[in-house]
Structure 1
Amino acid sequence: MKNTQSLNKLGLLACLYISQYIPIMFLLQALPVFLRQQGVNLDAIGLLSLIALPLILKFLWSPLIDRYGFTRWGHYRFWIICFQLLVAALTVICAFFDIETNFTGLLICILLMCLFCSSQDIATDALAVGLLEPQERGLGNGIQTSGHYLGAIIGSGGMLILLNYWGWRTSLLILAGIVVLALIPVLRHQEQQIPDVKELQTSGIVKSYFRTLINPYRDRRTWSWLLILSLYLAGGNMANTMFRPLLVDIGLSLADIGWLMGVVSHGAGIIGAIAAGFLIAPLGRKRSLILFGLLYAIAMTAYFLPAFGITNLPILHLVAISVQITLGAAGTTLFTIIMDKSQLATAGTDFTVQTSFIYFGTIGASAISGLLAQIVSYKGVFAIGIGITLLDIILINQVFVSNEIQQRSPLVFK
């Protein structure tokens, strides 16, 4: 019976994260390629970068999702159902847009889609915090990270294939259908009542908003953890960002790059995430964070092979696989600890604020990677990325003093 319940939880999370990331990855990765093919100018396509803003800023409205809900449907379940239906409806609307004559309307719709996907992410992460017991969180976050990768495979590569063969309208209607079908496990789920949420709801909205958003960060030890979050994946993202143009420079075709960086690397990431999910509990949180971070840094040294002219495809596949498999493991560990450090009554805010620091670090590192490459070459960027990762591991060893984070622990070190 217990095993059945655990499988049901993992199945629910898999459906939620896959369905949530399919539209996000479609908007961020597949749509710019399709629009360019349709003759949309680069300036207009550049505006698509604005749709990432809700992913970065979603912590600002996360306290409202923690505070308000429709208890009869389940607090976070209510939000997930609403946002997922809104995303499906907007996808249907976009399917009937004429891209050439109404690009502005399309841009507004996809910005709203990203806003709703980001907001759904708050509720989904909060639901997962309450759904998983501490001993289940390693595997649960392995499923979460795998959902990200699988959503990327379907939303980017899969949707580009559909667009190529079936066109804009049919492809988007299929996407909307997938989003609606993914609601079935959510509709069957009965969410348990969240403790202490009534106290949050009865206090003044301004007071509860700022208390939820700010209180955990008054402890200086929390800022050490947030610094770790900002750096842990930042160096790798800097290196990953420059690996793609390096592949172009060494002469790979778009098809080769798409297969290598889409299907092969994301598939390896799924394997790494699931493997880490099984290993985190026996290894422990701190040991896993250090071990998988070290393996990630070691794997990044493989980027030097193409940088020094070793460019045959089997080697490039091994490079992509080694980096992504360790990234999947490292990311799973990080999200497991983020979940540990989220309190039930404010899980949406606690989880979202922590992941926002990851976004700040990775996006910032990615933004300066091109400038650094012009100054110190690809090799220099890869060396800096590895150095940042190793520096963060030293920081983890110094400040991460808790052996295991106890159930429902606050966002501080014990």
Structure 2
Amino acid sequence: MIKKYHKEALSPSRRKLLLIALLYFAEGLPFGFIYVSLPVFLRTEGLDLVKIGLLSLAGLAWTAKPLWAPLVDIWGRKYYWMIIALLGLMVSVLGLTFLPLNSPFYLALVFLACFFSATLDIAIDGYTIEMVSPKEMGPVNGVRVASYRVALIFSGGALVALSDFLGFKLSFVLLVLCFLFLALLILGTKDFHSASPQRDTKSIREAYFNPLRELLSRSGALWLIPFVLLFKVGDAMMGAMIYPFWVDRGFSRAEIGLISGTLGTVFSISGSFIGGFWIKSLGIRRALWLFAALQALSNLGYAYAALPGKGKVEVYAASIIESFTGGLGTAAFLAFLMGLCRRDMSASQYALLSTLFSFSRSVAGALSGFGAEHFGYATFFFYTFWAALPAFLLIPKVGGLISEK
């Protein structure tokens, strides 16, 4: 089955794109629940802010994915892990819905939900890399990012809005039913049941060390780690300060939610989708150059909008442009990361690369407040443009690491 996928035409079939859309919608659901819906529910129930903030530590499960990703590669088929993860999410979310907040098991359930969500990520990312050829990476990543973000909206803001009519408990039960439906759909769809490529692994130790060793053994791999760390740094630094900037400029919550939140998400999804299909004709390497340039230049739009005397129109335009180009850059970058991974080590290698990327994004976001506080928004946003440029120097070094045939 895997070989059949790899010999398909250069354009992915509609069925394949539909399968990818389904998987990444499933992958995005728990993230939106944990980071949007659950905190709103907990605060509504009277939990104090310190405890709500500490629950974010459960998100370390996504950072720790490389610790068990090799097991997903070598034990069973990827769809086994998807179904187990979705069933685990069902149990976790049900517990978080009906257990009292003072239960000693409540925090453990949050960690468990994050663990199963991270496991679902590993299995779906690994399966996608196995079933997609390099020429299909662009369109697939466009659909992938778009579907993931739609799921974030559904399980985040939309679920919170729905809870205003149905109550939180019934709304969360509907989410649980979504997990059950997706698990049954994966179980009943034979496309997901294909065996992973055989991996020459003789021990658990090799399962853990061989993926990293194989990545670092490639010509030019010395530049790979700094490139993955730096590609989205400028975007991440500015992104962390966008909402505080809107608040400090006096925008209403309705304007922030409609323009920067909802409309920004729509344009980000559009950028990911269009960028993904554009990559098909450009190729991943050229797309990295072009989309990274547009992504960096969009920071200058916010720097201009933050100047004294600029009005709402400039800020609206900056938001739309930044969201769209951010979607383009994400589509190219994720296509590049997927293109780096060997199919017999797909889950392990992608977990390593995505963790590296998440680490730099978190650090850049954490430092951004100091920069904005010290320089002011306009100057800080201008500096984020320059922070995006070092990655350009590394594209010629890392471009040869992937095959586009």
TM-score with structure 1 setting the length: 0.89
2:346 is the counterpart of 1:380: no
The SS at the match of 2:195 is coil
Aligned to 1:246: 245
Taking structure 1 as reference, are residues 343 and 160 closer, same or farther at Cα in structure 2, changes over 3 Å only?
A: same
Deviation, structure 1 residue 310: 5.5
Within 1, Cα distance between the matches of 2:91 and 2:169?
13
Q: Does residue 161 of structure 1 match 2:161?
A: yes
CA contact (8 A) 1:338 1:351 kept: yes
Number of aligned residue pairs: 396
Contact 2:221 2:401 in 1 (8 A): no
Contact 1:264-1:317 within 8 A present in 2 as well: no
Per-residue deviation, 1:349: 0.8
Correspondence 1:189 to 2:196: no
Task: Judge conservation of contact 1:157–1:262 (CA < 8 Å) in 2.
Answer: no
* 1:101-124 superposed Cα distances (whole Å, 9 cap, x missing partner): 33x533221211111111111110
The answer as to 2:33 corresponding to 1:26 is yes
Is contact 2:234-2:387 (8 Å) kept?
Answer: yes
Deviation at 1:226, TM superposition (A): 2.1
Whole-angstrom distance in 1 between the partners of 2:338 and 2:204 = 25
Task: Give, as a single letter, the amino acid of the residue that structure 2 aligns with 1:22.
Answer: L
In the alignment, is residue 10 of structure 1 matched against residue 36 of structure 2? no
Amino acid at match of 2:181: L
Show the counterpart of 2:400.
402
Superposition CA RMSD, Å: 2.2
1:92 aligns with 2:57: no
How far apart, CA to CA, are the structure 1 residues paired with 2:110 and 2:361?
23
Percent of counterpart pairs with the same letter? 26
- Say if 1:235 and 1:266 are closer, same or farther in 2 by CA, change over 3 A: same
> 1:403 deviation in Å?
9.3
TM-score by length of 2: 0.91
> Is the 2:220–2:398 contact (alpha carbons within 8 Å) kept by the matching residues of 1?
no
Say whether the 8 Å CA contact 1:21–1:152 is kept in structure 2: yes
Alignment of 1:334 onto 2:333:
yes
Give 1:319-330 correspondences, 5 Å limit.
319-330=318-329
Residue 62 of structure 1 corresponds to which residue in structure 2?
Answer: 69
Q: Answer yes or no: is the 8 Å Cα contact 2:272–2:331 preserved in 1.
A: yes
TM-superposed CA distance for 1:345, in Å, is 0.9
Find the counterpart in structure 2 of residue 180 from structure 1: 180
Shift of residue 214, structure 1, vs aligned partner: 3.5
Task: Provide the residue aligned with 1:125 in structure 2.
Answer: 125
Residue number in structure 1 paired with 2:3: none
- Partner SS for 2:197: coil
Cα separation, 1, equivalents of 2:236 and 2:361 = 6
Letter of the 1:350 partner, please give it: Q
Question: What is the CA distance between 1:401 and its match in structure 2?
Answer: 4.5
Q: 2:79 aligns with which of 67, 77, 80?
A: 77
Change (3 A) 1:353 1:304: same
**Which residue in 1 is equivalent to 2:45?**
38
CA distance in 1, matches of 2:165, 2:376: 39
Whether the 8 Å contact between 2:29 and 2:152 is mirrored in structure 1 is yes
Specify the SS of the correspondent of 2:389.
helix
Instruction: Give the match for residue 111 of structure 1.
Output: 111
Are the aligned partners of 2:146 and 2:273 in contact in 1 as well (CA < 8 Å)? yes
Query: Which amino acid in 1 is paired with 2:99?
Result: F
Q: In the alignment, is the contact (CA less than 8 A) between 1:229 and 1:354 conserved in 2?
A: yes
Given that 1:296 and 1:326 are in contact with CA atoms closer than 8 Å, whether structure 2 keeps it comes out as yes
Instruction: Call closer, same or farther: CA 1:401–1:131 in 2, change over 3 Å.
Output: closer
Is contact 1:269–1:328 with CA below 8 Å preserved after alignment?
yes
Amino acid at match of 1:84: L
**Which shifted more, 162-171 or 330-339?**
162-171
Aligned to 2:4: none
Partner Cα distance (1:106, 1:305) in 2: 46
Paired AA for residue 65 in structure 1:
V
Q: Which amino acid aligns with 1:189?
A: K
For structure 1, the 5+ residue unaligned runs are 70-74, 408-414
Structure 1: which amino acid aligns with 2:114? C
Give 1:174 deviation, angstroms: 0.9
